[in-house]
Structure 1
Amino acid sequence: MTRRAVLSDANGAHGPAGARYLAPGWFTARVFNPAVARLTRWGLPLAGSRELAVRGRSTGEWRTTPVNPLVVGGVRYLVAPRGHTQWVRNLRVAGAGELRLGRRAEAFTAVELADAEKLPVLREYLRRWAWEVGAFFDGVGAGATDEELLAAAPKHPVFRLEPLR
């Protein structure tokens, strides 16, 4: 499996300076993600998956992708294992979105966490989904030291989701 890393330019066009995005391979982009998204749209989530819907930062049109929301201490989070992806950039601009499962859509606002706040979320995310996303964390796992997780934190944006009432 080949992963293509895309680094931001000097102006941070792809996210913060030095930000990384690991593009999905052909199988993930053309088979796995569409299958997970389809099952989730049908109301059959794979390992708790949801379809994230966010307005595009340029077009304003809804963009969707499958994600694995995580609950830590009663709070829901989204972690970007592949780094500063399109959905991350769109969510930063929009500040809100929806998590969809079947016909249900839960609207939320999103607050991006500072790197120091990410430790318990990244640790739990890796504990729960290392089998799926561990390859994107460069050998850092749930049992890593705080220092190792802090070093990985800038590569993996994390958003706290606050439900709209």
Structure 2
Amino acid sequence: MSEQRDQASSRAGGAHYLAPGWFTRNVANRLVALVTRAGVSVLGSRVLEVRGRSSGQPRRTPVNLLTYEGRQYLVSARGHGQWVRNVRAAGGELSLLRGRSRTLYHADELDPADSVAVLRAYLKRWKAEVGAFFDGIGPDSTDEEIRRIAPRHPVFTLTAR
């Protein structure tokens, strides 16, 4: 697992990224995406659609949409992966899909120092699903502990278009 993290990290230009394994990529993500596209949200799941930074073609991946204090957020539990880099390259323009519904958003990346409360809320909601990607940090961790890992987990504030 450490080797997988290191290989993915070097492919991402030194940024932290833990690539999904075969089961997640080929079974779990596809199943969640299929159910979400059918209109059923699994604990807030959506399908993120963003223009690919190299191909220009739409890229889709399942994500967890977090609503916290009246705002909507996307958090990358796995780090600086493909969807994160595509959102950055697309100037923050993205769509979230659920069933036949498509909502256009503009995403603004939070400074890691400002993301502690959002990361805590995200971990409260999805720790069972994503806790392994947070190096033992959970919703009951101190602000300092969460602040330490925040740069590895990009957080985007969403504004509906």
Q: TM-score range by the shorter chain?
A: over 0.9
Aligned residue runs from structure 1 range 90-109, under 5 A = 90-94=86-90, 95-109=92-106
Distance across 2 between alignment mates of 1:14 and 1:68: 22
**What residue is the counterpart of 1:7 in the other structure?**
9
% same residue: 54
List per-residue Cα deviations over 1:50-70 (Å, max 9, x = no partner). 000000011111000000010
- TM-score, L = length of structure 2: 0.94
Equivalent position SS for 1:52: strand
Q: CA deviation at 1:122?
A: 0.1
Distance across 2 between alignment mates of 1:126 and 1:151: 15
Of the three residues 122, 134, 138, the one matched with 1:141 is: 138
**Ranges in structure 2 where 5+ consecutive residues have no aligned partner:** none
**What residue is the counterpart of 1:60 in the other structure?**
56
- TM-score, L = length of structure 1: 0.92
Of the three residues 123, 133, 147, the one matched with 1:150 is: 147
**What residue is the counterpart of 1:75 in the other structure?**
71
Q: Which amino acid aligns with 1:156?
A: H
Q: CA deviation at 1:117?
A: 0.9
- Does residue 36 of structure 2 align to residue 40 of structure 1? yes
Distance across 2 between alignment mates of 1:106 and 1:50: 10
- 4+ residue runs of structure 1 moved beyond 4 angstroms? none
What RMSD, in angstroms, separates the aligned Cα atoms of the two structures?
A: 1.2
**Aligned length in residues:** 157
Distance across 1 between alignment mates of 2:46 and 2:151: 24
